[in-house]
Amino acid sequence: MKALRPIKKSLLLRQIVAGLTARLDLLEKAAQASHAEATHESSKPENKYDTRGLEAAYLAGGQARQARELLEAVKVYSALGARNFGPDDPIELAAVVTLLSDGTESTYFLGPRNGGLEIQHQGREIMVITPASPLGQNLMGRKVGHAWTVKTGPQVVRFEITGVA
């Protein structure tokens, strides 16, 4: 197993905020377009069964709600401290964890929200997960060297924590 460069966590957090901000910008543009569609004269119903305008309004409302949630996530990540973890520290929020599973090494950032976001950082892909996710639940409180197995259908997958930062 090759040695990995130390994580620049403050840079990683800035990249996460930038990724969330890019999603937010895209979602705000989509919400504006949906709102414009919902309120445009051509969206007025032609008969009682025509629901185009109503559907566009529901879509705009959902997109606006998602935009508010992303804005809140940007604020949370902007305020999150860049604490560094050592190999003897239990894994908590803001830890970067490297796992070995079936011969493949993966890196995760344990964040407070918006799991599933993928970031390219220092030549490696880091996926944001949350403590509420199944993997996040398995990581919380564990340390480097801890291993466990998960049965998924007929397969048994072995995980081992190989690094934490």
143-163, pLDDT tens digit by residue? 999 999 998 889 999 999 999
pLDDT, residue 5, reads 63
Q: Nearest-CA neighbor of 12 among 77, 69, 99, 71? A: 77
More confident residue, 39 or 155: 155
What pLDDT is recorded for position 113? 93
What confidence score (pLDDT) does residue 1 get? 41
CATH topology of domain 96-164: Chitinase A; domain 3 (3.10.50)
Residue percentage of the chain with pLDDT more than 70: 87
Q: How many CA atoms lie within 13 A of 39 on its CB side?
A: 7
Question: Is 76 within 8 Å of 17 (Cβ atoms)?
Answer: no
Any idea where the domains of the chain sit in the sequence?
9-79, 96-164
